[in-house]
Structure 1
Amino acid sequence: MSRTVHVIGAPMDYGADRRGVDMGPSAIRYADLASGLEAADVDAVDTGDLLVPRAEERDANGGNAKFLDEIEDVCIRLADEVAGTIDDGAFPLVLGGDHAVAIGSLAGSARDAEIGALWLDAHGDFNTPSSSPSGNVHGMPLAAALGRGEFADTEWANATGLREENVALVGLRKLDDYEREAIRDSEMTAYTMSDIDERGVTSVIDDALDVVTAGTDGVHVSLDLDWLDPHEAPGVGTPVRGGATYREAHAALEAIAQRDENVDCLRSLEVVEVNPILDESNRTADIAAELAASALGKRIL
């Protein structure tokens, strides 16, 4: 076995309006994640799930960042788990949960390191509490990790080893007005689905990997299953038509694995926003498990 992978469940649904995404880690495991990782020639150790109290047991606190105190608690513990895994010489694979868990994943991966972030998502996740139309923190993790807006003074959220110029968003197709302008004004690199249509997914991923690896110690890959078209992955809370196909998604993750094989750049990976309540026969969790294996080196030949 060439790599030890720690599977870390983060069954949090504080960041989204629609309940059920907290069952995502269990659904991905049920989709035979273990066999996929074995086929990728990694030694997988399942460390279990972080303890996350149910949202129904908490007060959303209102305002424009719902459940922010609860999210902070989970993300601090997740950051410690991710950082500890890396310190132990293993690779962290985080299973979400809603995309707000990325605040913890990024903070842990960036601890004592300069990292890049490859963001595979239909959305920009670049709102701040004051700009968010919903108050749902799963639309804010990139802004939080980069210390934007109200997150500027929140040490628990800031991934201090992450710079905007080493962030690449791939597959965007739905942005709020504020996010559109904020992304344009930032130093991040953004590729829409139109770029993938025009150039092909592997060409876009190769360019994005150049961005996120430039001068960094490693790359965190954040895969939101709503990056795929809803016909492929129906079990997500915020589906947007026109996303990546099944084959495009595999080609993208295989390209990441190929780059990692050549230059050892992959530092951490998360797979988020699988909602079994909204899924069809666990299709979305099946794809999530397959894509995680592809990113970690599973090959056809």
Structure 2
Amino acid sequence: MDKTVSIIGVPMDLGQGRRGVDMGPYAIRYANIKERIERLGRTVKDQGNINVPTAETETIENQKLKYLPEVARVSEDLAAKVGDVVRQGHFPIILGGDHSISIGSIAGVTQHIKKLGVIWFDAHGDMNTEETTPSGNIHGMPLATCIGVGNEQLVNIGGFAPKLRPQNVVIVGARSIDPEERELIKQHGITCYTMHEIDKLGIAKVMEEAIRIASDGTDGIHLSLDLDSIDPDMCPGVGTPVLGGVTYREGHLAMEMLFQSDKVVSCDLVEVNPILDEHNKTARTAVDLVCSLLGESVM
């Protein structure tokens, strides 16, 4: 990891069905992410926020792809910003916002790191398409989009597709996957460690395998950390909480192992919704975890 960290906020809630996640970047900043990372001896540059339109000013044209033009436009802007940060050799941390922002995050990173592995920490698969989505919310589609499946406008963000090879993608912490998503995950050969595997094998074994798969033949790993991967007792402030998630301590061990691998090149933190939170608990957990990812330790 480069010692300079660039923070980019994306106050996006157009991909989500519940309002409030657009305040996620502010909540994470309020939880002192910049100061905490600086204590680790890193230089931190806060790049501000990408401009995102509000739902009140826009009209839904397609109920199966809600706010498609707006999400695509923000994704292009984010891809350009992230690409510039990566070109400078900095480590980008992108603050969401709903999980649709990963379309732009990954498009930006892969402008310069062509062979990218991804570890997708999430309670959900995010592998829906216009044909399979039960809600029309694009935050349920970003992983499919990044492997080249789905709406062409989203798939081709940044001017190229696909962004990822499915064999280098690993979902960790899944416990709520739609039936048609399940078939797409199997069809494309994506590795998925559900909570069943975490309970059975332990988080250390799961992460050992996830890092191996995501780094096999790649030049780095992008971590996409949806805070609903963590159990709601520590992360109540998310739009789609699911009981029985990764524990706080398991989350830290996962991040510590990613740091020790020295393979992570970028990260996004998504789905923090302060309206649904308790005393900014979810944002504080997000900051705690990202600090472990960047090398914070007890000794």
**Residue identity opposite 1:132 in structure 2:** T
How far did 1:258 drift? 0.9
2: CA distance, partners of 1:153 / 1:277? 28
| Structure 2 residue corresponding to 1:194, chosen from 193, 196, 214 | 196
Matches within 5 A, 1:212-251: 212-251=214-253
Secondary structure at 1:267's aligned position in 2?
Answer: strand
Q: Percent identity?
A: 47
Scaled by the length of structure 2, what TM-score is found?
0.96
How far did 1:67 drift? 0.4
**Unaligned runs of at least 5 residues, structure 1:** none
Confirm or deny that 1:29 pairs with 2:17: no
Equivalent pair of 2:2/2:90 in contact (CA under 8 Å): no
Equivalent pair of 1:118/1:170 in contact (CA under 8 Å): yes
How far did 1:149 drift? 3.4
Aligned to 1:63: 63
Equivalent pair of 1:94/1:269 in contact (CA under 8 Å): yes
**Residue identity opposite 1:38 in structure 2:** E
1:214-261 per-position Cα deviation (integer Å, ceiling 9, x unaligned): 11111110000000111110000000000011111111111111111x
Equivalent pair of 1:7/1:94 in contact (CA under 8 Å): yes
2: CA distance, partners of 1:102 / 1:279? 22
Compared CA separation, residues 154 and 121, structure 1 to 2 (3 A): closer
Aligned to 1:115: 116
2: CA distance, partners of 1:118 / 1:2? 19
Moved over 6 A (4+): none
**Residue identity opposite 1:181 in structure 2:** E
Aligned to 1:257: 259
How far did 1:18 drift? 0.3
Aligned to 1:166: 168
Compared CA separation, residues 77 and 296, structure 1 to 2 (3 A): same
How far did 1:152 drift? 8.1
**Residue identity opposite 2:125 in structure 1:** G
With 148-157 and 277-286 compared, the bigger mean Cα shift is at 148-157
Aligned to 1:293: 291
Aligned to 1:268: 266
Aligned to 2:212: 210
Number of aligned residues: 297
How far did 1:159 drift? 5.0
**Residue identity opposite 2:293 in structure 1:** A
1:86-116 per-position Cα deviation (integer Å, ceiling 9, x unaligned): 1011111000000000000111111142101
Matches within 5 A, 1:95-134: 95-112=95-112, 113-134=114-135
1: CA distance, partners of 2:51 / 2:154? 26
1:122-152 per-position Cα deviation (integer Å, ceiling 9, x unaligned): 0000000111000000000001111113348
Equivalent pair of 1:106/1:159 in contact (CA under 8 Å): no
Aligned to 1:15: 15
**Unaligned runs of at least 5 residues, structure 2:** none
With 60-69 and 132-141 compared, the bigger mean Cα shift is at 60-69
Equivalent pair of 1:110/1:160 in contact (CA under 8 Å): no
1: CA distance, partners of 2:228 / 2:2? 30
2: CA distance, partners of 1:97 / 1:128? 20
Secondary structure at 1:183's aligned position in 2?
Answer: helix
